[in-house]
């Protein structure tokens, strides 16, 4: 599948350019390399756009790793979550920034955004089961924490998906995600994958996962890190000029011309 990072309007030399990070995968879910500008099509509000910039390579990454620590995750399940978190952190590059967020009766930042991998690993090791799952609140808090960071921003969320006692609703979490510039990768543990997880991924250009065998979590988290590292940056000047202050939502569709490949893109951006 693919990933288009949050679409943000960038302004330079008096020209409004919308930049979109996109990742492409083959039928087995592996990132696809070697694509060119001609392989992509970008549409805004259904209208084909001319891609004026195209960059391939590793880009700065800032990721919030949110771990469900509620009592429903106690025991072996929490141990597996921590193993998955370690796998994700160890798969990041030396210049990638990460932060650790614990989701329980309250949302806590256990390690602030930095490149200090050992501090993050130590924070993961300290996580224990406590409280209930304020999942909707955690999504909003984690988005706000990583939003100011540089480069691509991502939220990786590991949870059984059962929200309890959030002050925010699922709709609030979705609305906040849509208005932000953070790709969300929710990983559901247990019997079912909450519909909210798929919606968060679709809105933001991330990908949702359902892991029924906790032993597979490390491989899943390494796959997410790999996808985040293999992306394409597409830029275009909207054929219909941007008007600041209009609070206008514009939809975006990114497609790939080659058969058998999938692109996953954020579904649009807000012109504020």
What kind and span of H or E run contains 24? strand 15-25
Judge whether residue 149 has pLDDT over 60.
yes
Q: What's CA 34's distance to the chain center, in Å? A: 23
Q: In the predicted model, what is the mean pLDDT of residues 20-26?
A: 88
Integer Cα distance of 45 and 66 in angstroms: 33
Report CA 1 to chain centroid distance, whole Å.
Answer: 13
**CA–CA separation, 137 vs 8, rounded Å?**
24
Q: Given pLDDT bands bounded at 50, 70 and 90, which one contains residue 92?
A: very high
CB 99 within 8 A of CB 65: yes
For residue 248, what pLDDT band results from cuts at 50, 70 and 90? confident
Q: Do strands 152-159 and 61-68 pair parallel, antiparallel, or not at all (unpaired)?
A: parallel
Cα distances (angstroms) measured from residue 86 to each of 97, 104, 133, 217, 249? 14, 19, 21, 10, 37
Question: How far apart, in whole angstroms, are the C-alpha atoms of residue 32 and residue 257?
Answer: 13
> What's the chain's Rg over C-alpha atoms?
18
Query: The tokens 């501090």 sit on which residue?
Result: 119
Entry field: residues in the chain: 272
Residue with the two structure tokens 């967020």: 101
Asked if residues 63 and 146 have their Cβ atoms less than 8 Å apart, the reply is yes
**Whole-angstrom Cα distance, residue 198 to residue 66?**
17
- How large is the average pLDDT for residues 12-40? 82
pLDDT band at 133 (very low <50, low <70, confident <90, very high): confident
Residue 261's pLDDT band (boundaries 50, 70, 90)? very high
Does the global pTM surpass 0.75? Answer: yes
Residue 81 neighbours by CB distance under 10 Å: 25
Topology of the domain comprising 61-228? Rossmann fold (3.40.50)
3-state secondary structure of 166: coil
Q: How many CB atoms lie within 10 A of CB 172?
A: 15
- Among all chains, which residue has been given the structure tokens 């929710």? 186
Q: Which residues of 202-216 are buried (b: 16+ CB within 10 A; e: fewer)?
A: bbbbbbbbbbeebee
């Amino acid at each position: 599948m693919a990933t288009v990072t949050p679409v943000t309007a960038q302004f330079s030399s008096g020209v409004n350019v919308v930049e979109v990070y996109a990742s492409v995968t083959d039928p087995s879910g592996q990132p696809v390399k070697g694509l060119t500008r001609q392989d992509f099509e970008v549409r805004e509000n259904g209208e084909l756009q001319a891609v004026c910039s195209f960059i391939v390579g590793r880009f700065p990454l800032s990721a919030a790793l949110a771990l469900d620590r509620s009592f429903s995750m106690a025991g072996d399940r929490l141990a597996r979550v921590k193993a998955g978190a370690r796998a994700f952190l160890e798969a990041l590059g030396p210049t990638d920034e990460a932060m650790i967020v614990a989701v329980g009766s309250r949302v806590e930042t256990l390690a602030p955004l930095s490149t200090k991998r050992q501090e993050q690993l130590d924070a993961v090791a300290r996580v224990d089961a406590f409280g209930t799952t304020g999942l909707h609140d955690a999504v909003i808090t984690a988005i706000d924490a990583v939003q100011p960071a540089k480069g691509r921003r991502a939220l990786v969320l590991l949870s059984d998906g059962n929200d309890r006692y959030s002050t925010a609703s699922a709709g609030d979490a979705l609305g906040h995600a849509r208005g932000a510039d953070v790709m969300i990768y929710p990983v559901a543990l247990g019997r079912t994958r909450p519909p909210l997880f798929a919606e968060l991924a679709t809105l933001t250009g991330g990908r949702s996962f359902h892991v029924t065998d906790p032993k597979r979590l490390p491989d899943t988290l390494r796959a997410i890190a790999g996808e985040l590292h293999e992306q394409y940056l597409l830029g275009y000047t909207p054929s219909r000029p941007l008007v600041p202050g209009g609070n206008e939502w514009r939809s975006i569709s990114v497609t790939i011309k080659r058969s058998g490949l999938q692109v996953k893109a954020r579904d649009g951006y807000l012109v504020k």
